[in-house]
A = this chain, B = another copy of it.
Amino acid sequence: MHMKLAEMNRETLEAFQASCQQAYAAFQAANLKLDMSRGKPSPEQLDLTEGMLTCLADDDYRAADGLDCRNYGCLDGLPEAKTFFAPMLGVSPDELIVCGNSSLNIMYWTMSLAMTNGVLGSKPWGKYDKVKVLCPVPGYDRHFAVSEFLGMELVNVPMLADGPDMDMVERLVAEDETIKAIWCVPMYSNPGGVVYSDAVVKRFAALRPKAADFRIFWDNAYCVHHLTDNPPVQANLLEEAKKAGNEDICYLFASTSKITFPGSGVAMIAASEKNIQSLKKALSYATIGFDKLNQLRHLRFFGGKFENLTEHMKKHKALIAPKFEIVTHTLEKELGALGIANWSEPVGGYFISFNQKGCAKRIVQLCKEAGVVLTGAGASFPYGVDPEDENIRISPTFPTEAELQKAMDVFVCSAKLAAAEQALA
């Protein structure tokens, strides 16, 4: 069938729907049970980190300076862990705090801290009647959820091909003092896979918000998670912000959750030295220190050399790039000619963003009823409301290639069926 759905007459459409229904019934009969709901590494990816669980010996617990990593102390991370991880966010070791196992937790903490204590001595955000956060959409549901939970109002900003709509961002932050933050995943955005252009990064760096306590939450979760051999090189936000005399405007985050172990990785936050000093002071109330032995494990596993980490990422790529291809290939083959949908073809990150106007909920429901669990429709939008009911986040990494192919067969069948239903309604 090489005809656009929009060009089909009613009779053709009905035949098309019937054939979709038949295929769908066969999938239902197969009793599939596949989960593509979250961006989760596969067991094979975790096996790449073989050796991490055993790389410390009973007498290997000292940092380079002799510090006993088993004991209390060293609030902001081992010095050599800072040196090791600094290149990941492109900052100097002094601009980095190496934390525990969860960057989401550090983001939550940083935003919660702004609510209780403000930033750099400002009035606590929680003391305002209304505080807003800008949410480029589609975006990461957990980011939006953190802000909503903490009582902030979520404001949609469209994501364009080179990053968030900066005309809108600049206008909004300049005129509305209640806007205190924006969430960004600058490289391989979740779910769109968008790589913010250098121009966008520089406009972020030069932002002059009405609220002096405005912060960019720059979640560089996928900064080393490339799907190509020649990954894009992106301008560094903190560096650009310094050039603009604006270095206190941003917090940068990353973690090894999708490099080593998602449950037992190492998270980090980077910022200007002034911000870092303030965060360290606040941190001294919140903990005595993070798990230094796990930082040491990471140092040992990678031999303390960052290039070993980037080499390690190539092994991840070898495992997951074929899965991304299964998704895009199946979408192109089955939906390409119909003209009903579009999707991203990311060169990094963990997701493929799929759009089919007015059909997202129905597709997710159809998939679910055929045993394929997807991220809920609307999840990529504040309050779970996708205004066009069009976006679905596809997470191809966890299933095996065979499972993924099956799941995508169900997906494209569901997409076609939903389109036919819509056209005939």
Contact = CB atoms under 8 A, between A and B. Distances in A.
Given A41-B71, A72-B262, 12 more contacts: A40-B71, A50-B58, A54-B57, A74-B263, A100-B101, A102-B288, A102-B289, A102-B290, A104-B286, A108-B287, A115-B116, A264-B294
Contacts of A115: 115-116, 126
Interface residues of A, number: 59
B100 A263 contact: no
Interface in A137-164: 142, 145-146, 149-151
Contact of A287 (B104, B112, B289): B104
Contacts of A292: 263-264
Q: Which of A60, A61, A69 has the most CB of B within 10 A?
A: A61
The 9 closest A-B pairs by CB, nearest first: A105-B287, A70-B261, A149-B285, A126-B126, A72-B262, A108-B286, A264-B293, A53-B56, A102-B287
A43 interface: yes
B290 A101 contact: yes
27 contacts: A38-B72, A43-B68, A46-B68, A53-B56, A53-B61, A70-B262, A72-B257, A74-B263, A100-B100, A100-B101, A102-B289, A105-B286, A105-B287, A108-B286, A115-B115, A116-B116, A117-B150, A117-B151, A124-B151, A126-B126, A126-B127, A149-B282, A149-B285, A263-B290, A263-B292, A264-B293, A294-B294
A49 interface: yes
A46 B294 CA distance: 16
Contacts of A150: 116-117
Interface string A80-114: 00000000000000000000111011001100110
Contacts of A289: 102, 263
Interface in A334-390: none
A6 to B, nearest CB: 41
A150 B126 CA distance: 11
